[in-house]
C-alpha cells in the first residue's frame, strides 16, 4: 500500500486532501500542530488513516515523521505541505513577531517538509512532494503582504528544489506547487469582517474538496506549478508583470474584493437563517 503524509490536516483543506488520498488507497499519516485535531481527523476517515502531532517549524520533527511513515509502509510516496497560517494586516503596521510567525510556518515549514520528504524518498528514487502555496505566491496581496512574501519563498523553494533534483540526475521524484484561489476553510472563517483579508475574496472562493480533487490530478500528471482556477493564475500574473499598473489599480480591486467579502457573509447568514 502506498504511503502519504499531509501536514496541517486536522481540518479544512488538509483533511480534504487526506480523505482524497485515503480514497485512492494510500495509508495516510494525518499530522497537525494540534494532535487531538489530527487524531479526530484520522478517526473520521477511518481505514487507511493514522495520526501524529507535527510541528512543521521543527526540522527534526519533520524528519522523524517522514521516517515513521517509511518504517511503517516501507516507503514514503507522497508528502503534502499544507500547514499554513494567515494573519492579515497592513505591512507597515504589523509587528515583526507576527510576520516572523508566517515566515516560519509557511516558508520554513515548507522547506523542512520538502527536505524531510526527499530524505525518505531518495533511497527508493521515487515520490511526489506537493506544496500548497496560494495565488498569493504569484502576486503581492494587499493586506496579506507578509503571508504573500512567505508563499513567494515557498514557491521559489519548490521550483528550485525540483530543478536541483533534475540537474542531479533524479528523475523519479517530483516536486509540485499548487496555487489555489481563496478557500473557504478555518483559515478564512474568522476573517469575514476583516477588510485587510478582502483580497482572499477577490476571485473564486473554492471548497477544500475542489482543491483536493485538483491535487489528485496533479499526482496523476505532475507539473511544477498549477494555478487554480487557471484564469485566476493568468490574471494575477498580469498584475505581477506590471507592478506600476497593479499599484494604481489596487484601490479599485480591493474595493470590489471588500464587496465580494461582504456579499459572501450575507450569503452565509441567509443559509443559516
Which pLDDT score is estimated for 138? 96
Contact present, 87 and 133 (Cβ < 8 Å): no
pTM recorded for the entire structure: 0.95
Q: Given the C-alpha cell 483536493, which residue does it identify? A: 212
Q: Is the pLDDT of residue 273 over 90?
A: no
Summarize the confidence of residues 70-82 as an average pLDDT.
97
Share of the chain above pLDDT 70, in %: 100
Of 147, 201, 228, 235, which residue is the catalytic one? 147
Which pLDDT score is estimated for 205? 95
147 is a catalytic site residue: yes
Contact present, 68 and 29 (Cβ < 8 Å): yes
**Which residues, in sequence order, are bridge partners of residue 227?**
179
Contacts of 45 by beta carbon, 8 Å cutoff, 6+ apart: 18, 19, 22, 28, 30
Summarize the confidence of residues 54-62 as an average pLDDT.
98
Helix (H) or strand (E) holding 259: helix 243-272
C-alpha cell at 7: 501536514
Helix axes 230-241, 243-272, angle to 10 degrees: 140
Summarize the confidence of residues 145-172 as an average pLDDT.
98
Q: What is the pLDDT of residues 209-268, one digit of tens each?
A: 999 999 999 999 999 999 999 999 999 999 899 999 999 999 999 999 999 999 999 999
HSE toward the beta carbon, residue 114, CA cutoff 13 A: 26
Q: Using alpha carbons, select from 110, 115, 157 the residue that is nearest to residue 132.
A: 110
Rounded Cα distance between 271 and 31, Å, is 32
Summarize the confidence of residues 135-145 as an average pLDDT.
95
Q: What is the pLDDT of residues 37-49, one digit of tens each?
A: 999 999 999 998 9
Rounded Cα distance between 151 and 112, Å, is 14
Question: Please, what is the Cα angle at 36 between 42 and 191, to 5 degrees?
Answer: 100
DSSP reduced 3-state for 97: helix
Amino acid at each position: 500500500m502506498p504511503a502519504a503524509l499531509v501536514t496541517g490536516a486536522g481540518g479544512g483543506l488538509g483533511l480534504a486532501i487526506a480523505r482524497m488520498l485515503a480514497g485512492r488507497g494510500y495509508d495516510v499519516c494525518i499530522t497537525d500542530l494540534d494532535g487531538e485535531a489530527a487524531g479526530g481527523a484520522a478517526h473520521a476517515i477511518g481505514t487507511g488513516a493514522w495520526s501524529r502531532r507535527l510541528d512543521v517549524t521543527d526540522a527534526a520533527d519533520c524528519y522523524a515523521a517522514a521516517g515513521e511513515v517509511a518504517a511503517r509502509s516501507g516507503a514514503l510516496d507522497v508528502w503534502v505541505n499544507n500547514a499554513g497560517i494567515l494573519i492579515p494586516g497592513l505591512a507597515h503596521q504589523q509587528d515583526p513577531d507576527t510576520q516572523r510567525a508566517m515566515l516560519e510556518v509557511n516558508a520554513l515549514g515548507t522547506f523542512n517538509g520538502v527536505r524531510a520528504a526527499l530524505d525518505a524518498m531518495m533511497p527508493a528514487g521515487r515520490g511526489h512532494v506537493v506544496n500548497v502555496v496560494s495565488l498569493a505566491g504569484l502576486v503581492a496581496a494587499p493586506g496579506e503582504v507578509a503571508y504573500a512574501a512567505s508563499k513567494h519563498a515557498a514557491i521559489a523553494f519548490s521550483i528550485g528544489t525540483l530543478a536541483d533534483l533534475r540537474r542531479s540526475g533524479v528523475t523519479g521524484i517530483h516536486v509540485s506547487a499548487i496555487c489555489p484561489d481563496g478557500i473557504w476553510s478555518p483559515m478564512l472563517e474568522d476573517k469575514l469582517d476583516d477588510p485587510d483579508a478582502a483580497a482572499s475574496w477577490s476571485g473564486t472562493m473554492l471548497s477544500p474538496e475542489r482543491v483536493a480533487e485538483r491535487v489528485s490530478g496533479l499526482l496523476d500528471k505532475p507539473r511544477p506549478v498549477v494555478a487554480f482556477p487557471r484564469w485566476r493564475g493568468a490574471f494575477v500574473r498580469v498584475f505581477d508583470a506590471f507592478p506600476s499598473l497593479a499599484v494604481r489599480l489596487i484601490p479599485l480591486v480591493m474595493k470590489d474584493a471588500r464587496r465580494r467579502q461582504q456579499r459572501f457573509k450575507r450569503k452565509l447568514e441567509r443559509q443559516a437563517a
